[in-house]
Amino acid sequence: MSIFEFARRYAALFLGAALAPLAAGCVTVRPEQRAILADPVMQFQGDPREAAQRQHVLENREGSFGGSSVQGGGCGCN
């Protein structure tokens, strides 16, 4: 499957994902209320480099991939 076939097959999914955030437009957290949201304990990947190294270990031992980051080079599959 080429990248273009893949994009065509899942176009509806991409469109839905792109439009869904608009539904959140009625929910806003004002800047002065964002102190806790900016705290390190509220970050999904508290330490992105640590998370990337752990993800590398896990992906080399599992048949799956995705959901975190798409950066990085290939293999080092030990």
The reply on whether position 67 binds other proteins by CB under 8 A is yes
The reply on whether position 75 binds other proteins by CB under 8 A is yes
Neighbouring C-alpha atoms within 13 Å toward the C-beta of 1: 7
Least distance from other proteins to the Cβ atom of residue 14, Å: 7
The reply on whether position 10 binds other proteins by CB under 8 A is yes
The reply on whether position 46 binds other proteins by CB under 8 A is yes
Cα-based distances in Å from 32 to 29, 35, 42, 52: 8, 7, 16, 31
The reply on whether position 70 binds other proteins by CB under 8 A is yes
